[in-house]
Amino acid sequence: MALELSIKDQNQEVELFVRRAITMFVLVVLMLGLIALRLLELQLWNHDTYKSRSDDNRIRVQTLAPPRGMIYDRYGRLLADNQNAASLALTVDDMDDLSATINLLTDVLQLSKQQRTAIYERIETSRRPDVALVVIDSLSESQVARLAVNRHLLPGIEVVNQLVRFYPFGRVAAHAVGSVRRLTDEDLRNADPVQYSATTFIGKRGVEAYYEQQLHGQVGYQKVETDALGRVRQTLDVQSPSQGKALRLHLDIDLQQAGVTALDGRRGAIVALDPRTGGVLAMVSPPAYDPNIFVSGMTETVFAELRSSSYVPLFNRATNGQYAPGSTFKPIVAMAGLAYGTTTWDQVIEDRGAFQLPGQERVYRDWAWTKDNSGGQGMVDLRRAIYRSSNVYFYDLASRTPIKDLVSFAGEFGLGSNLALDIPHASAGLLPDPAWKQGAKGLPWYPGDSVNMGIGQGDLLATPLQMAVVAATLANRGRRVSPRMLLETFDSNADSTDAATEFSGRVGDVGGRATQLALEKVNAEDWENMVQAMEDVVHRGNQGFRGNGTAWAYIGQDIDYRMAGKSGTAQVVEISQGEEYDEETLSEFDRKHAWFIAFAPVQNPTIALAVLVENGGGGSSVAAPVARAVIDVHMAQQQAMAQHAVTSSNRFVAR
């Protein structure tokens, strides 16, 4: 060891080391030079490429959903509002482990099993995994806080503020205003994919659906800086979306409320029109649903209940419920008889409570008929036939009026068609004629069919909306109007209002508008007489049982304005010959429907309505008080406005 050491030549070793160190240093410099070259390549020569790549990384263009236009009633009360809701959105692409993240989310937010399933369902129906998808609509404040704390554990999850629809009046205006629903793939196929790229809700029912285009607005864009997890760090540039148009409806929420209250939980419908314009003042259809649950989301069971309930709350009875109009059809038969010369105001018949066609056995009974044949109205002229609602008079009249004339005349009142301008899904009812009967039943038109039609029974069906048009046409002395929901649209942010006539095409127009309607050719005097007869229905009292208007006892004794009306009681099941109608023995859904059509004031009417109470019983006793309750509210309003010298033509000013 010591020997070898002494052999070593220190100087030589130091020189060797120095040479090697210098060589290595040169190598070091060369290799650092290589790195410097690489850096120059990245940072100098290809700088632009990497610069734009870095910008592409961080900058994303996002679309911004436009706020939906508001919906107001005729006096500017908000029917459909937008509210800010904290929603939970997730971007599938930004998640490492979807199910683990959702498990954690379930713990953090204490979600129920259904909510969890709902999240998965929404992810499955999602269109794009790289776009934030709202999976929970309204988070509570404590949920938002817990999310904030656990944010770092939940990549791809963010809380977004979303404007969601809110219906302040809930079920009161549900069927009239309609509701929005979560946008589905199918909606997207039918809609402009650019305009709807950020939209989460679309109008699905009622006004919300029909005026979707106007309410929706224009999509906006923003450039945002996002991090590697897709979270927005800052906004670089915004092109704001423009809010959809605000709608002002003819609807009067007070009348709407009055109708709901008056029906008091009974199934039925009320449609009130402004006879001057056809504007729908009220459209009530209880039982209703709360439209807000379509926004916040509902559980399967709630939805199943809504759908399967035998009271069909989702069904709009006002526009789609089709019922035999019963005696409310009588004024039409009367006017047809006058128009086609089959009766006059002076013609008198004897009503003994029953009617038979010549040579036939079948007995057509009056509503006042009893087994002992003590019923019957006695000597009846047309005016009395209306205010006493004599069936026999109209059996006789209808049997003598040519069916084609009766049908075409009734058709001009809007029966058998949907006259509404902006209620496309309203039903047309059924106005039967010989051709229809031959086609649908394969049977010829019997004289008995005409007899039944005389009192609004048989196959004849009408919706409350259609009967409201009938009421309005009578109120207008033959001038028919088309129902409409929309009063006007206006810019949500400006004061300017657009014309109310912004309809994207008339819906359900009846053919032959070019030719003058037969009902317009009827004498003005005949219309005036009919109005008086209908006035008697309400106001003729203290004349003994056979002298009073049918509705007087129920609504006519303490009324301080003039109102014209006509009651109707429609059979649901046929009562066999010789038997009496006994409410007690019939099941709930077999009882008679109660109708009442009315308008007020008699001179220059401002409201015309139709009330239907499903399986309610007598029209005068059940439906007439409901009609009166609604009209009372309207008249009080009119009076108050007259006192304040505020007319309905005053300019509406947005909040």
Partner 1 sequence: MSNIDFQRSLSPYGAPADSAPRWYYRLHIDPILVVLLSVVIVYGLVVLRSAVDGNEALFNAQLQRMGMAYMALIVAAQIPPNFYLRMAPLIYLLGLLFLVLVLFFGVTVKGSQRWLEVPGLLRFQPSELMKLAVPMAVAWYLQKRSLPPRLKYTLICLVIIAVPALLIGRQPDLGTSILVFGAGISVLLLAGLAWRWVLWSLVAMVAVAPLLWQFVLEGYQRQRILTLFDPQSDPLGAGWNIIQSTTAIGSGGLFGKGLFQGSQSYLDFLPEARTDFIVAVMGEELGFVGIALLLVLYLLIIARGLWLAAQAGSTFGRLLAGAFVLTFFVYLFVNVAMVSGILPVVGVPLPLVSYGGTSAITLMAGFGIIMSVRTHKAW
Catalytic residues: 327
- Nearer to partner 1 among residue 59 and residue 640 (C-beta): 59
**Nearer of residues 36 and 443 to partner 1, judged by Cβ:** 36
Answer yes or no whether residue 32 interacts with partner 1 by CB under 8 A.
yes
Q: How many residues bind partner 1 (CB under 8 A)?
A: 47
**Distance (Å) of CA 510 to CA 132, 197, 333, 408, 520:** 47, 38, 20, 12, 15
Task: Determine, following the binding rule CB under 8 A, whether residue 61 of this chain makes contact with partner 1.
Answer: no
**How wide is the angle at C-alpha 297 spanned by C-alphas 161 and 140, nearest 5°?**
45
* Terminal alpha carbon distance of the chain: 104
**Residue whose C-alpha is closest to residue 391's, from 410, 361, 364:** 364
Amino acid at 646: V
Rule CB under 8 A: choose which of 10, 310, 501, 647 binds partner 1. 10
DSSP-based helix, strand, coil % in the chain, nearest 5: 40, 20, 40
Q: Toward partner 1, which CB reaches closer, 20 or 362?
A: 20
649: left (phi over 0), alpha (psi -120 to 50) or beta: alpha
| Min separation Cβ 265 and partner 1, Å | 59
- 40 is a contact residue toward partner 1 (CB under 8 A): yes
List 26, 36, 238, 642, residue binding partner 1 (CB under 8 A):
36
Instruction: Read off the amino acid at residue 514.
Output: A
Q: Which is nearer to partner 1, 42 or 636 (CB)?
A: 42
Q: Does residue 128 interact with partner 1 by CB under 8 A?
A: no
Q: Which listed residue (26, 28, 302, 642) binds partner 1 by CB under 8 A?
A: 28
Q: Which residue has tokens 């005389």? A: 454
Least distance (Å) between residue 33 CB and partner 1? 10
- Please list, in sequence order, all residues whose beta carbon lies within 8 angstroms of the beta carbon of residue 241, skipping any fewer than 6 positions away: 64, 65, 66, 67, 198, 217, 218, 219, 220
Residues 252, 291: Cα–Cα separation, whole Å: 18
Say whether residue 62 binds partner 1 (CB under 8 A): no
From 26, 31, 145, 636, residue interacting with partner 1 (rule: CB under 8 A)? 31
For the purposes of burial, counting CB atoms within 10 Å of the CB of 394, is it exposed (0-12), middle (13-18) or buried (19 or more)?
buried
| Nearer to partner 1 (CB atom), residue 46 or residue 648 | 46
What mask of x and - would describe binding to partner 1 in positions 224 to 253, judged by CB under 8 A?
-xxxxx---x--------------------
153 lies in the binding site for partner 1 (CB under 8 A): no
Q: How far is the CB of 65 from partner 1 (least distance, A)?
A: 25
Smallest separation (angstroms) from partner 1 to the CB of 40: 7
Find the helix packing angle between 113-124 and 98-109, rounded to 10°: 140
Q: For residue 145, state whether it binds partner 1 (rule: CB under 8 A).
A: no
- For residue 325, give both structure tokens: 């109009």
Choices 30-38, 136-144, 183-191, 198-206; region in contact with partner 1 by CB under 8 A? 30-38
CA gap 429, 106 in Å, rounded: 50
In the list 26, 51, 363, 520, the residue contacting partner 1 (rule: CB under 8 A) is 51
- C-beta atoms surrounding 403 within 10 Å: 18
What's the closest the beta carbon of residue 128 comes to partner 1, in angstroms?
16
Minimum Å gap between C-beta 240 and partner 1 is: 25
**Roughly what angle, to the nearest 10 degrees, separates helices 403-412 and 330-339?**
120
Which residues in this chain contact partner 1 in the complex, by CB under 8 A? 1, 4-11, 13-14, 16-18, 20-21, 24-25, 28-29, 31-32, 34-36, 38-40, 42-44, 46-47, 49-51, 53-55, 57-58, 225-229, 233
